[in-house]
Amino acid sequence: MKRPGPLLTLLAGLVLALFLLTLNATTGMRPASSSYQEQSPSPAPVRSTASPTTAPTPSRSRAADADYAGRTDDDAAAIAVSVRGGRAIAYFCDGRTEESWLKGDVEDDGALRLTGGHGAKLEGTLQDGKEIDGTVEVGGTRHAFTADRAKKPSGLWRATATVRSAKIDGGWIVLKDGSQVGVVTRDGEPSPAPRIDPETGTVTVDGQRLTARPATP
């Protein structure tokens, strides 16, 4: 038996190749894909443009507007304090020749540190808006005091004027029992003050009718 020749072998190889190509086209075989996949870049984080929230700043508390009047613990003098808008004035008076006007701020905790002429000073504390406890130093002498919250006509009064070419400056403290303590200075010379009408504030000084008014800071 004769073996197939080279030409026949070549034809058989071509037929097999054509058969394999036809088979791939009809079955849809695809070459295996690579396991590597390019990952999409992660989106950049979004930053909030809103302003950071800040806690509200608490408003500063302030002592209520009120008037206070009382006497020193040694009963040597009277004292009155008027508080308005975080400021205070005070008047110390013995009803004869010694007096002093003082002024200053009221701290958030109710503390008062007032100063006046000739080194006078007052240190006190508001007690729940009902009274002021503290000390006052005038003329080198220190006095402890308690001044209760006053209701009109109690409280602090003042009158200034010029009478017969003399400068008049009068201060009065009307206490809750109706008693009055005051000093009038004429060109800087102090003397006991005449009574005022607490309903109207009218007072007669050296024959001149004046009007005292509630004193406030």
Round to whole Å and give the CA distance between 51 and 109: 34
Q: Name the band, by pLDDT with cuts 50, 70 and 90, for residue 8.
A: low
**pLDDT-based confidence at 38, cuts 50/70/90?**
very low
pTM, two decimals, is: 0.71
CA triple 161-99-75, angle to 5 deg: 135
Segment 110-169, tens digit of pLDDT: 999 999 999 999 999 999 889 999 999 999 999 999 999 999 999 999 999 998 899 999
When comparing pLDDT for 32 and 158, which is higher?
A: 158
Token pair for residue 152? 């009109």
Higher pLDDT, 51 or 203: 203
- Give the per-residue pLDDT at 203: 97
**How high is the pLDDT of residue 27?**
52
Longest dimension (CA), the chain: 170
Using 50, 70 and 90 to split pLDDT, how confident is the model at 32? very low
pLDDT of residue 136: 98
Show the tokens assigned to 204: 């007669």
pLDDT band at residue 22 under the 50/70/90 scheme: low
Tokens 């800040």 correspond to 54
- The chain-wide mean pLDDT, for the chain, equals 83
- Rounded mean pLDDT, 24-32: 50
The SS3 of residue 113 is strand
* pLDDT confidence tier of residue 36, bands split at 50, 70 and 90: very low
